[in-house]
Amino acid sequence: MTDRIGFIGLGIMGQPMARNLIKAGHPTTVWNRSRPGIDAVVADGAEEEASPAEVARRSDVVITIVGDSPDVEEVTLGRDGIIEGAHEGLVHIDMTTMSPEVTRTISDRLAEASVEMLDAPVSGGDQGAIQGTLSIMVGGKDAVFERCRPVFDVLGKKVVHCGPSGSGQVVKLCNQVAVSLTNLAVCEALTLCRKAGVDQERMVEAVGAGAGSSWQLLNLAPKMLARDFAPGFKIDHQQKDLRHALATAATFDLPLTGTSLVHQLFATVQAEGLGAEGTQALVKAIEKLAALEE
């Protein structure tokens, strides 16, 4: 039997993810805070509901991908939230990147209403969402994960059950630490190359075929060189994720020195009013430190 899907949060990531579920044959009901997202997926065959609670009532699985922990709490536990549309067998999959601690709190509250929850943040950016090739990191009960695997398989090509509730969020924060520091390495390599007067495109071609290659080098470096700072993933969103990573590390008295540095470098770009640009705009901070003009 094909699951009835509820989808809440129709932004850069949510719209293409909802479309892929519709294309896969899942009856899909949606809610969003703003009209453009709703209108876009309704045109593709989704149905609209008036609130998260109404979406939940009509669904077997409700997916949320919104801004941050307070947004998830609001659409899940707030007035007209998912919990008010709770029914036996309902599963809530939250794909927002947020606090592991808040995730576990929400999961416990939903369990009291007989709703199972999986935290399932994603990596792969807007292109991964469009192509259905996201990496999905899942926390929650194993049986619930297996029950929802057909839904995950529509959205991603790599789906890993990471452990109990909150584990998916922890793994996603580890991903963001690795992503942001690799991004910084690419920015510094490009800046060194430019300062030395060597062709940057040839450097990317050479390094991209060797041990120094990375997703960031192959995908973000060409955008940096083209001065294309349109967001596949916004700096503001990256900063939110890094704040959660640093806060989680602090609970273990764990210093993340590299993460703290890149967090501050991104902050210098935000201070220029550029937080809505893509994370490749980190190169502007490194160029500024190097006294390089655009």
Q: Which helix (H) or strand (E) holds 118?
A: strand 116-119
- Phi and psi (nearest 5°) for 157? -100, -15
Q: What amino acid is encoded at 223 in this protein?
A: K
CA distances from 48 to 40, 130, 186 (A): 11, 21, 43
Assess whether 158 carries a catalytic annotation: no
Q: From CA 139, how far away is CA 111, in angstroms rounded?
A: 15
Closest CA relative to residue 271, chosen from 257, 288, 255 = 288
Q: Tokens in use for 72?
A: 């998830």
Which of 157, 172, 223, 234 is flagged as catalytic?
172
Q: Tokens in use for 216?
A: 């960031």
- Phi and psi (nearest 5°) for 93? -110, 115
Cα–Cα–Cα angle for 161, 166, 172, nearest 5°?
70
Q: Tokens in use for 218?
A: 């192959």
Give the DSSP letter string of 38-58.
HHHHHTTT-EE-SSHHHHHHT
Q: Which helix (H) or strand (E) holds 186?
A: helix 167-195
Strand 61-64, strand 91-94: pairing: parallel
Q: From CA 80, how far away is CA 128, in angstroms rounded?
A: 31
CA distances from 288 to 4, 179, 197, 231 (A): 50, 21, 17, 20
Strand 122-123, strand 134-139: pairing: antiparallel
- The catalytic residues are 172
